[in-house]
Structure 1
């Protein structure tokens, strides 16, 4: 098998894997570029001497500086938490495309407000702008994975939803390196810190332009009774005529799933809330999806993203430019890992194994880093340059990132975009995104204080959480790669959960063969056309 080989649930025409689905996924993923850029640039920008001089941060006590820095960073996550739930009514009533448009416009407004801040006005506009920008990306973090998953063929669904994570890392890579570049080439002054704030408008602008060319989710249109438009959009995305056997099957599966929802949960705005409160099956999946983000943030990755200069000082790296360069390398490692995850791992290795291997490897590395800091205590015993032990600790730090990025960084988003029925998907994604932003807020708000009070203990804390996540995934998370969205109920019905994927995939293939045989026998399509379209790579 090649790096882009596919594992299919049924024979799929080549036309289905076309440039349109990739373009739609790329446009929706611009929302994550905005998130990734913010997570990378803000922690380094507020440590620039020009920013500290402008707002008087260099005159504050350590405790007050920790508090102000934490507030600047964390109000973004607080806004995102509420934005993720705001997206539910917008996405349900007006659709995924309108939800994405609202997210982009709100973010643009917030980013523009931040540029009005200066020393005379104080930090108020930065606080307010970051709340609004966070509200926008929170809504986008709900809408984008749902939209992508609903348009994706099963065999490349992980890859397409993974473009959301790739956008996050590309934005982060730019954010990590931009401060290093301006610290070298732009003299300290207002422009030095305003440029990173202004760059936020670039991905937001590209996102809004791209929305002019995307089409509404066919699955959402089916759920709203707009069948003709849904079939038209689905034909456009698949580049197949409406009477093609593949589309007949896909439309039939969507119709069947909607009928099952009507009989179980029901179709309506409040039905998912009722199901979430009364249906144990739904409550269980909401629990699984939300707890995945607890473990994700328990890796410490967002502590590193938002406070990378503090992290590297804790490891013994000194000097503003050296801190920024080390941070930039961290961004490079994350981007390479995400690209590998997107092109090869997510749809080849699968979700479940990635989570367990990534957590175990990252945990071991973090224990080693914490052990070094406990013994050497480099932040309290500066040597002017990093020691050989510090180099080893840096290696394991980057190695933990290499374990984490192609496993936990994007996989929880993929799983949450897959495991719910269409009528539950928007509310479920809101809960998942809300869980992500809640735990991200918690980490970003208290990381400065944790580094100050816990020292090496913070690394042992994150390592322990990663070890516990392995147990959680092994016993509770099924493999979802290649399983159609409409078959997730069957997947969770199989026990034990670690064997469910193989059993269901075999059952789906047998059902597919019977269905196609019946179609051929009934004369819907002749044998020659049937043979030409059947080409499966397993």
Structure 2
């Protein structure tokens, strides 16, 4: 239970800290690296379990748990030297410390134009927040601009990341692929986690080049097609004896289903896995960001629990038709992305707040962000030419 509390706290604070510390042009890639480290940990965990699967005595569970203590100690030592969020320090009135933290984070001279401009935007945003007073929980329903809408976007985005069904493969991969006729279910789980980890690296390169909306939309489309095929093959073609779940399985169909499971993970790992955290870390103003992140992450872990708890019971009753439930959620996510998710690539957190206040529609947000970036680049050129 204590481990779960710690993981929940990190799920809220780490994406929030990253989004508040790094420059806007690197924010998406850096928050995506958080998801990459999660997938790398899953791969390492599966590799360790694969290595000790034949261990006698208590080594089969003591070795993985013991290695976990080592990584926890490394994390504890790293936190001791980690810079605090400059936005948090500024909001607490520690402007000089915020200036130093920002300079240290981006490794630039504290008196550079970039640092001065960033601090000016941060302080202006904080002053606007202070004029509105301290954020209360009731403000998630009544706050402006469009605070309730943003809260619901955060909750739905992280909920859909779970409801799209990725953990159906990750949590029950060993038993799932045993039923497909695989002789080495632990090895198959390693393949899935390896695909997940490798595709997340690919996603980090894509996220700063394609944009949030396009990646989330087309990622969901690939996931939908893969899951529909996977569920249909498992429901109507896998079992050779009159579709009897207790009968023999078709080896070619089983291998094809593993392929489409990997194709699904390709779509998930390059898009929804990292980008859900990126989107939610960006859409809230400073004064309510912690509450918004807490609600979004809480919904994620709630659905995570529901899927892990109810999946065995559901699959015992409807088998691979369970995939159609996840497919329906992925189909909903396509419409959700188009009508609800704003493009935020390259915009500062303060510019994103302004975009919501301006009433920009999600399908027009890419054009709005490009105009903001062009104006910012023009201002930078004017400042540079003036200094020259």
TM > 0.5 fold call: yes
Matches within 5 A, 1:120-519: 131-184=1-54, 186=55, 188-264=56-132, 266=133, 268=134, 271-279=135-143, 281-314=146-179, 316-319=180-183, 322-342=184-204, 344-378=205-239, 379-382=245-248, 387-492=251-356, 493-511=358-376, 513-514=378-379, 517=382
- Cα deviation for residue 168 of structure 1 reads 0.2
Q: Give CA deviations for 1:469-517 in whole Å, capped at 9, x if unaligned.
A: 1011011101111010111122223433212132233234325534763
Distance in 1 (CA, whole Å) between partners of 2:78 and 2:197 is 23
**Closer, same or farther in 2 for the Cα pair 1:518/1:214, shift >3 Å?**
closer
Asked whether the equivalents of residues 342 and 362 of structure 2 are also in contact (C-alpha less than 8 Å), the reply is: yes
- C-alpha distance in 1 between matches for 2:229 and 2:222: 11
Q: Given that residues 346 and 373 in structure 2 are in contact (C-alpha distance below 8 angstroms), is that contact kept between their aligned partners in structure 1?
A: no
Normalising by structure 2, report the TM-score: 0.93
Kept in 2, the 8 Å contact 1:166–1:335? The answer is yes
Work out the CA distance in 1 between the residues paired with 2:40 and 2:3: 18
d(CA) in 1 for partners of 2:48 and 2:110?
48
1:157-186 Cα shifts (integer Å, max 9, x gaps): 1111111101101100011222211124x2
1: CA distance, partners of 2:190 / 2:210: 29
Alpha-carbon contact 2:345-2:369 (below 8 Å) kept: no
Aligned CA distance change for structure 1 residues 208 and 293 (closer, same or farther; 3 Å): same
Deviations 1:235-286 (A, max 9, x none): 222333333211111111111111221233x2x3xx2423213226111101
Taking structure 1 as the reference length, the TM-score comes to: 0.68
- CA spacing shift, 1:359–1:198, aligned 2, 3 Å: same
Question: For the structure 1 residues 515 and 335, does the alpha-carbon distance in structure 2 shift closer, same or farther, using more than 3 Å as the test?
Answer: closer
Instruction: Tell whether the 8 Å contact from 1:317 to 1:323 is kept in structure 2 after alignment.
Output: no
Distance 1:341 1:519 in 2: 34
Which segments of 5 or more consecutive residues in structure 1 lack a partner in the other structure?
1-130, 528-538
Q: Which runs of 4+ in 1 moved over 6 A?
A: none
Cα distance in 2 for residues equivalent to 1:275 and 1:515: 36
